Amino acid sequence: MASGMMVAGKWITRENEQNQSGEFHEIPTTFRDRVSTDGSSGFKAEVGRYHLYVSLACPWAHRTLIMRELKGLNDVISVSIVDPIMSDKGWMFSQAPGAIPDLVNHAQYLQDIYLKANPNYTGRVTVPVLWDKQTQTIVNNESREIMRMFDVEFACLATHKIDLYPRHLQQQIDETIDAIYLPINAGVYRAGFATKQAAYEQAVSELFENLDRWETILSQQHYLCGEQLTVADICMFVTLYRFDCVYYGHFKCNLRRILDYPNLWNYLKDLYQIPEFKATCNLDHIKRGYYMSMTDINPNRIVPKGPIIDFDERSDRHRFGKP
Ligand SMILES: N[C@@H](CCC(=O)N[C@@H](CS)C(=O)NCC(=O)O)C(=O)O
């Protein structure tokens, strides 16, 4: 997706992440500290201390925003939203509709934040980023860990007492998040960024086999881990929400649309209609973010007008009762 990365604190145009077989591989993130309720990790959960940098286009960042909304942490953790279109220096702050400039560090580019945390930084400059205003550093830039921190470590400061990682389901939730990651969440990218036919076909086959499997599971239960909404559903939602508008066309994931799966489609609408989910959804940022930033696969940067999808249409998930 990106145009470049940092090497020893310098921005360079990045080599593609495909290997010899044309398969796409993610480079792992590097800031892996942790906020804790009691501060024993060196980063205590406190009101106003942390800032979250996100892109509304990015599904990984989207997960953390949903968690922040669902927990009622909006007054505890401040947020900046980058411009939807990636610049040739990576993510950029702007006054674009739906964007929120960096009022904490007054940076122009997200790379400035990484450099502030580590002037010799080597790696990708990705969202989400959780920034500590007190020690002036990045605590963590891995969405799954940030979600967990918001849910568990910030629970004492949260205004909504919802538990999205309940103790009795933890193992099942972790297994579910792992199970959907490679074939579904990353699977769409593996298909979209494949540079060899075989790599593309492999990714698409695995993706749809897994969507078929979850379609069956969701015909029998309300959520991925049973009758309770959990963090695993947030992980699934961010991919399903982008699917028909972006992944189907732009990433060639076109065996079926989510609209063609009765259970996945109703599950998606059901989640979207939860106000805290809806508040984080911005199809304009998503469509322009993907179609205009990824010029390798869409060189003319044309953003399609459609499809027309009514995410507000009534969902049939009430048949499982109230959550
Ligand atoms: N493992 C990371 C992945 C985050 C990620 O890949 N973010 C993308 C946007 S969707 C990004 O910022 N890419 C910029 C780049 O690779 O330079 C997470 O889950 O937090």
Q: What are the contacts of 219-224 at 24+ separation with CB within 8 A? A: 219/262, 219/263, 221/320, 222/317, 222/320, 222/321, 222/323, 223/267, 223/323, 224/176, 224/180
37-42: average pLDDT: 98
Q: 217-263: per-residue pLDDT in tens?
A: 999 999 999 999 999 999 999 999 999 999 999 999 999 999 999 99
Angle at which helix 231-242 crosses helix 59-71, to 10 degrees, equals 130
| Predicted pLDDT of residue 16 | 59
Q: 90-99: per-residue pLDDT in tens?
A: 999 999 999 9
Check whether 14 has a pLDDT greater than 60: yes
In the chain, what are the domains? 4-157 (3.40.30.10), 167-279 (1.20.1050.10)
Specify whether 189 is catalytic. yes
- Which residue has a Cα nearest atom 3 of ligand 1? 60
Please state the residue numbers annotated as binding site for glutathione.
91, 124-127, 142-143
Sorted by sequence, the CB contacts under 8 Å of residue 17 that are 6+ apart come out as 24, 25, 26, 27, 193
The strand pair at 137-140 and 129-132 is best described as antiparallel
| Predicted pLDDT of residue 15 | 60
CA separation for the pair 283, 247 (Å, rounded): 13
CA angle 25-296-115, nearest 5°? 65
Share of the chain above pLDDT 90, in %: 91
Reported ipTM: 0.99
Coil, strand or helix at 57: coil
Probe residue for ligand 1, chosen from 30, 58, 139, 150 as the CB with the greatest number of ligand atoms within 8 Å: 58
Sorted by sequence, the CB contacts under 8 Å of residue 28 that are 6+ apart come out as none
Specify whether 109 is catalytic. no
Look up tokens 């990365």; give the residue.
5
Please tell me which residue in 53, 109, 121, 189 is annotated as part of the active site. Answer: 189
Look up tokens 């590097």; give the residue.
30
Centroid of ligand 1 to alpha carbon of 62 (angstroms) = 11
> Is residue 124 within 6 Å of ligand 1 at its C-beta?
yes
> Is residue 1 within 6 Å of ligand 1 at its C-beta?
yes
Sorted by sequence, the CB contacts under 8 Å of residue 35 that are 6+ apart come out as 41, 43, 44, 45, 50, 130, 132, 139, 140, 149, 153, 154
> pTM value?
0.96
18-44: average pLDDT: 86
| Predicted pLDDT of residue 17 | 62
Instruction: Name which of 149, 151, 146 is nearest 166 in CA terms.
Output: 151
- Which residue has a Cα nearest atom 11 of ligand 1? 126
Check whether 2 has a pLDDT greater than 60: no
195-221: average pLDDT: 98
- Which residue has a Cα nearest atom 15 of ligand 1? 2
187-197: average pLDDT: 97
| Predicted pLDDT of residue 4 | 87
Q: 163-175: per-residue pLDDT in tens?
A: 999 999 999 999 9
| Predicted pLDDT of residue 176 | 98
Q: 57-90: per-residue pLDDT in tens?
A: 999 999 999 999 999 999 999 999 999 999 999 9
- Which residue has a Cα nearest atom 10 of ligand 1? 58
> Is residue 185 within 6 Å of ligand 1 at its C-beta?
no
Please tell me which residue in 50, 53, 58, 253 is annotated as part of the active site. Answer: 58
Question: What's phi and psi for 70, nearest 5 deg?
Answer: -65, -35
| Rounded alpha-carbon distances, angstroms, from residue 316 to 218, 228, 257, 269 | 12, 17, 18, 9
Centroid of ligand 1 to alpha carbon of 219 (angstroms) = 32
Share of the chain above pLDDT 70, in %: 97
Check whether 22 has a pLDDT greater than 80: no
> Is residue 2 within 6 Å of ligand 1 at its C-beta?
yes
